[in-house]
Structures are given as structure tokens and as C-alpha cells.
Amino acid sequence: MHPSNIHNTVLDFRVLAQSYPALLPYVVDKPGQDSSYDFTSSDAARELTKALLHQGYGIDWWIPAGQLIPPVPNRANYIHWIQDLLQLSSPAGQEGVKGMDIGCDFTKGIITTAMHPNEALTFTMCNPPFFDTLDEAGLNPATAFGGTEAEMVCSGGEDAFVRQMVRDSLDLQVRVHWYTTMGRTAAPTANTALQQALNILHSQGTCSFRQPPAGIVGGCTGGSGLQLQR
């Protein structure tokens, strides 16, 4: 975990449930052990995300059943990592920080179709659809963070999705200072595709960050010899 991440300590689910009673049915107590949590229930995962967003950030959040539930500590890590990247290199002359969180349901022009003409971004971030089919996604018996077909699946899976972002970066080039995306550690070809684009763009810095079960990779269109390993 990033040292600035407020979730970088072991979570006591029993203590958290004292403030958020909706968690109580899902807290598991074992003799002589710290409390644990029932991550096999989508309702439990949704209630935990709701509690953590409210406790840590004052955000009132809810999402319909079946939608992808974001693990808060993981996503907070991504934000802190981007902050580190911007301390290494930020676009000259740009006022403030302007980023784009790339969603799903894109087929062509993932970034380019969402940007206005002459618009410039400080960074992009993305949790790409990892799978080619919903059957490929399967079911992880240890977790129940949900996810619809639109959120988890695209033709060609993660590799095709990231490669489309690569093609967009070749068109946009320095209009985005930092291109970043999450990626499964089981699919290194996506990272390879991004690295190939960085070479074409003559990027002067690349960064990589691995965080189970997904890694984050980023490339900078400015800076000199930048390296960040966490």
C-alpha cells in the first residue's frame, strides 16, 4: 500500500461495524484471531465499499446490485500513485490537474472520442474490461465484487482494449501528459503493448507499479529519465 493511503493498516471489521451497523451480518469472528469479513457476498462487498467511502472521504455512495463494486483501498492506491507521477513530471503551463477516468462501452477511439478538440489532459486512468467473454471472467469463489458484461468484457479482452488506448496515444501524443492503466498480472501482453507505444512516442520516462491482483502501468510524454518503482 502507498504510505499516504489511509487504508494501509489492517482493517478491524468489528470496530468499523460499530459505526456502520449494516456491516454486522458479514463480520466473521474466529477465536484467537482478528475479525474477518464475508467477501463471498455481493451485498457485503457493497456495504463495505459504502462504509469505507463514507468513513474515509465523506462520500455517500450506492450502486445497483450486479454492478462492479470498486475495492476502495486498491483504487485509492491508484490515485496516490498518479499523484507521485505528477510530482515527478507535470505538464508545463497547464493550470491545475485535469484527468480522465476511462470507463467501458468503448470500441474505437477510447480516449480520442471523449476529448474535446484541442483539450489537454494531465493524466488518464483506467480499469479496463479484462475479459473477452463473460464465461472467461468466471467466478472467483473468494470474492463477490460483481460486474456486468459491459464492465468486464470487450472483444479481445484487456489486451485489445489497452491496444486501442495505445493507438489513441499515438494520435494524441503530448495532449495527455501521463497515460496510465491497470492490468492483470496474468496478461502481460497489455503491458507490452503499452511499452511499445511509449517507445514509438519517444517517451522519456516509464513507470510500473504492481499491486495484486492487478498491476498499474504508466507512460509519460514529457520528463527525463523518470523511474518510479513501488
What CATH number is attached to the domain comprising 189? 3.40.50
Structural domain including 49 reads: 13-57
What was the pLDDT predicted at 53?
97
pLDDT at 172 exceeding the cut of 90: no
85 and 47 in a common domain: no
Strand bridging mode 99-102 / 176-184: unpaired
What was the pLDDT predicted at 224?
47
Tell me whether residue 111 is in a domain.
yes
Split at pLDDT 50, 70, 90, the class of 130 is confident
pTM of this structure: 0.81
CA angle 140, 143, 145 (to 5 degrees): 105
What was the pLDDT predicted at 5?
93
Tell me whether residue 3 is in a domain.
no
Share of the chain above pLDDT 90, in %: 28
What is the spatial distance between Cα 15 and Cα 32, in angstroms, rounded to a whole number?
16
114 and 22 in a common domain: no
Split at pLDDT 50, 70, 90, the class of 140 is low
State the total domains in the chain: 2
200 and 96 in a common domain: yes
Arithmetic mean of pLDDT, 18-45? 91
66-110 tens-digit pLDDT: 888 889 998 999 999 899 888 888 888 878 899 999 876 555 677
Mean pLDDT, all residues of the chain? 79
Q: Cell 488506448 maps to which residue? A: 165
110 and 48 in a common domain: no
Max distance between CA atoms of the chain, in angstroms, equals: 61
Arithmetic mean of pLDDT, 201-208? 48
Strand locations in 39-163 (E): 99-102, 121-126
Helix (H, G, I), strand (E, B) or coil at 80: helix
What was the pLDDT predicted at 99?
93
What Å distances lie between residue 159 and 120, 129, 148, 163, 218, CA to CA? 25, 9, 19, 6, 15
pLDDT at 202 exceeding the cut of 50: no
| Element at 201 (helix H, strand E) | none
Tell me whether residue 119 is in a domain.
yes
